[in-house]
Amino acid sequence: MAPHTPAMLTPSTTPLWLNSLFVDHAVLRLGWRNWGVVEAGRLYRSNHPLPWQLRVAKRRFGLRTIINLRGERANCGSDRLGRAAAAELGLTHIDAAFESRGAPHKDRILRLAEIFRTMQEPALMHCKSGADRTGLAAGLWLLLQGRPPAEALRQLSLRHGHVRQSRTGILDAFFLAYAAAHAREGKPFLDWLREDYSEQALRDAFRSQGWADRLVDGILRRE
């Protein structure tokens, strides 16, 4: 889909576009949205949207909030273009950085839970590829709505490009750890997170597979 405003590409923005397209690999996202509906009318997911993709999504779904799971990246063209587009469209832009290959941090999950509670809906969440961090956050949303762990785990799927055998599989292990505790005790998610979850224990227990790490880190070069 072509850009909707001729002012999007100007001498001042050309370096940002070059960085976005070829350093941040947005050229691969021109026709690949990795779009998903977490809950219709409330929350959507995708890879890092280009400005005109954001404009189309706002018009079609009535977006009011953007949650950037990459965090602020001053030297990233995609980041700067996305922030400018959100401001132009009157969208609230929130940074909530997560890792794709580490045990999810308890404090970051609690902050995201508060963002979910107070944000203006509908919202769109994105990371770079929309596969790992976005899948984690989508699963967290479902758990916070009282949905079962198995439903949350399905947000980390090969359909969205998530490879559970790689180091990003520690995100699956997080949901599986809660699923086991929930099956034993029926404990609500936030109670388990605050009282029982151990980032170190999850890191110690998880093992990835070499072939999958080579695929995700070496070939796909995921963030």
pLDDT tens digit string along 106-116? 999 999 999 99
pLDDT of residue 8: 62
Whole-angstrom distance, CA of residue 35 vs CA of residue 45 = 6
Q: Indicate whether 2 pLDDT > 50.
A: no
pLDDT of residue 10: 74
Do 149 and 182 meet the contact criterion of CB atoms below 8 Å apart?
A: yes
Please give the model's pTM, rounded to 2 decimal places. Answer: 0.94
pLDDT, tens digit (0-9, with 9 covering 90-100), for 115-127: 999 999 999 999 9
pLDDT, tens digit (0-9, with 9 covering 90-100), for 74-92: 999 999 999 999 999 999 9
| Distance from chain centroid for Cα 184 | 29
pLDDT of residue 9: 63
DSSP state of 160: G
Mean of pLDDT values over 29-42: 96
Whole-angstrom distance, CA of residue 191 vs CA of residue 170 = 21
Query: How would you class 6 by CB atoms within 10 Å of its CB: exposed for 0-12, middle for 13-18, buried for 19 or more?
Result: exposed
pLDDT of residue 1: 36
CA distances from 147 to 33, 96, 128, 142 (A): 26, 22, 26, 5
Q: What domains are there in the chain, each with its CATH number? A: 17-219 (3.90.190.10)
What is the residue-averaged pLDDT of the chain?
94
Mean of pLDDT values over 197-218: 95
Q: Indicate whether 60 pLDDT > 50.
A: yes
Whole-angstrom distance, CA of residue 99 vs CA of residue 97 = 7
